């Protein structure tokens, strides 16, 4: 009885082996390629790899490898990176490329990755590795593309040495990292996308030869000769009128990772918009209009102070400069209206004297009214 039980157990074990062998031959599981460690021979210049994304259109297995089935014969077999291309390359980079997270975070997008092989003869196989990547800078709003890479290897291997495919794939990955590192070295000094700091400076525009437009200067007050418009308002509230404004020109250049921005301010007044009514050509009227021009200069200086007070970043400095300009223009409009209302367009001597003092103090001190 005991002997029969052993025979039954042995028979069951053999049956399980046969079933297992049948399963192995019936289900052709794609082979797995495991990237071996290979320390890169450079330190990343100003970046670290923050992530890998698989953007391939065709996400099938990356390789069609020639596998020996018998003497002198091979067959194509699908093979993929263990865990998938993005995780596998990510792990390889994390293990072999130094990572300094104080540097710029870079995302790699895999656009194309494949290995194809064809038999040459009974003992040799020809292979081709293709790799296409996009390197981008990780931002709060997404990824900003920096540069694309296309590379690969054409190789010949012995039929028995299938591991050569992994070797050439690994070298292609290392070459792509070296390519990007060299690109960073060349581009960090002057590429605005890689800038990490912004420095703002201001200057005031000065016209070489005065034409119709007057650009504000402390030693260049308005005169009646500047009132050259043929238009005259019919409103009894106005004795004269001018239309001053302010704008700016911006120039930027990048050096050693810093964007240097110079903003040239223009506080201006076209003579062709200045007019006065007959009978009001006096010092009181001229002073009132001069103060309108002074108010614009005050707003111009406040605009400078507001911009300089900000710790601006490369991605947002232009938007802030533009938005602050619009805000300051509204401030100018409100101040001009308040000035005219409180002085009754210059007809209230006491209020006009108060505004004269406030404006003079503001021009001297450069502080908010």
The pLDDT score that the predictor gives to residue 300 is 97
In this prediction, residue 193 has a pLDDT band, given cuts at 50, 70 and 90, of very high
Share of the chain above pLDDT 70, in %: 91
Tell me what the mean pLDDT of segment 113-128 comes to: 94
The pLDDT score that the predictor gives to residue 29 is 39
Q: Is the model's pLDDT at 28 over the cut of 60?
A: no
Tell me what the mean pLDDT of segment 208-223 comes to: 95
The reply to whether the predicted model has a pTM over 0.85 is: no
The alpha carbon torsion through 299, 304, 308, 314 (nearest 10 deg) reads 110
In this prediction, residue 365 has a pLDDT band, given cuts at 50, 70 and 90, of confident
The pLDDT score that the predictor gives to residue 11 is 46
- Considering only CA atoms, give the Rg of the chain: 38
**Residue 105, token pair as written in the block:** 């975070």
- In whole angstroms, give the CA distance from residue 7 to residue 1: 10
The pLDDT score that the predictor gives to residue 17 is 38
Give the domain 30-188 fold: Double Stranded RNA Binding Domain (3.30.160)
**What's the chain's average pLDDT?**
90
The pLDDT score that the predictor gives to residue 72 is 74
Stronger pLDDT, 190 or 21, i.e. the higher one: 190
Lowest mean pLDDT among 22-26, 162-166, 230-234: 22-26
Tell me what the mean pLDDT of segment 291-299 comes to: 98
Tell me the per-residue pLDDT of 300-325, one tens digit each, with 9 for 90 and over: 999 999 999 999 999 999 999 999 99
Tell me the per-residue pLDDT of 121-132, one tens digit each, with 9 for 90 and over: 989 999 999 999
In this prediction, residue 16 has a pLDDT band, given cuts at 50, 70 and 90, of very low
Tell me what the mean pLDDT of segment 144-154 comes to: 96
Q: Which residues contact 186 (CB under 8 A, 6 or more apart)?
A: none
Q: How far is CA 297 from the centre of its chain?
A: 34
Share of the chain above pLDDT 90, in %: 82
The pLDDT score that the predictor gives to residue 235 is 85
User: DSSP 3-state assignment of 262?
Assistant: strand
**Residue 15, token pair as written in the block:** 């049956």
Tell me the per-residue pLDDT of 66-81, one tens digit each, with 9 for 90 and over: 998 887 788 999 999 9
Question: 117 and 165 in contact (C-beta within 8 Å)?
Answer: yes
In this prediction, residue 12 has a pLDDT band, given cuts at 50, 70 and 90, of very low
79 phi and psi angles, rounded to 5 deg: -145, 145
**All structural domains of the chain with their residue ranges:** 30-188, 194-365
Q: Is the model's pLDDT at 337 over the cut of 70?
A: yes
The pLDDT score that the predictor gives to residue 223 is 98
Lowest mean pLDDT among 16-20, 150-154, 274-278: 16-20
Question: 34 and 166 in contact (C-beta within 8 Å)?
Answer: yes
Tell me what the mean pLDDT of segment 21-25 comes to: 33
Q: Is the model's pLDDT at 253 over the cut of 80?
A: yes
The pLDDT score that the predictor gives to residue 237 is 82
Q: Is the model's pLDDT at 26 over the cut of 50?
A: no
In this prediction, residue 31 has a pLDDT band, given cuts at 50, 70 and 90, of confident
Helix ranges restricted to H, the chain? 2-26, 85-96, 164-187, 283-308, 317-343, 349-365
Tell me what the mean pLDDT of segment 281-290 comes to: 97
């Amino acid at each position: 009885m005991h002997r029969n039980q052993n025979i039954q157990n042995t028979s069951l074990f053999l049956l399980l082996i046969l079933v297992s062998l049948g399963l192995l031959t019936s289900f052709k599981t794609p082979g797995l390629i495991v990237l071996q460690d290979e320390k890169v021979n450079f330190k990343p210049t100003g970046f670290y790899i923050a992530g890998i994304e698989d953007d391939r259109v065709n996400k099938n297995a990356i390789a069609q490898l020639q596998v020996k089935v018998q003497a002198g014969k091979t067959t194509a077999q699908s093979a993929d990176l263990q865990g998938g291309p993005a995780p596998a390359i990510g792990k390889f980079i994390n293990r072999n490329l130094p990572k300094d997270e104080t540097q710029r975070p870079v995302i790699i997008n895999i656009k194309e990755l494949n290995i194809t092989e064809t038999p040459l003869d009974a003992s040799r196989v020809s292979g081709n590795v293709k790799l296409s990547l996009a390197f981008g800078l990780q931002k709060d709003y997404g990824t900003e593309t920096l540069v694309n890479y296309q590379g690969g290897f054409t190789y010949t291997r012995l039929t028995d040495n299938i591991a050569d495919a992994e070797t050439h794939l690994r070298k292609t990955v290392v070459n792509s990292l070296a390519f990007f590192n060299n690109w960073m070295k060349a581009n960090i000094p002057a590429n605005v996308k890689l800038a990490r700091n912004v420095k703002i400076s201001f200057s005031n525009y000065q016209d070489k030869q005065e034409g119709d437009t007057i650009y504000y200067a402390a030693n260049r007050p308005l005169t009646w000769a500047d009132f050259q418009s043929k238009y005259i308002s019919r409103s009894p509230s106005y004795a004269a009128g001018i239309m001053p404004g302010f704008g700016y020109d911006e120039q930027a250049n990048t050096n050693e990772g810093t964007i240097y921005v110079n903003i040239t301010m223009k506080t201006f007044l076209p003579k062709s918009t200045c007019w006065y009514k007959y009978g009001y050509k006096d010092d009181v009227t001229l002073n009132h209009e001069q103060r309108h021009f002074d108010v614009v200069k005050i707003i111009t200086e406040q605009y400078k102070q507001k911009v300089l007070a900000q710790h601006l970043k490369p991605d947002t400095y232009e938007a802030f400069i533009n938005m602050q300009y619009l805000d300051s223009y509204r401030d100018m409009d409100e101040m001009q209206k308040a000035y005219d209302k409180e002085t009754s367009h210059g007809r209230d001597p006491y209020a006009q004297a108060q505004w004269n003092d406030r404006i003079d103090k503001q021009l001297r001190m450069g502080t908010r009214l």
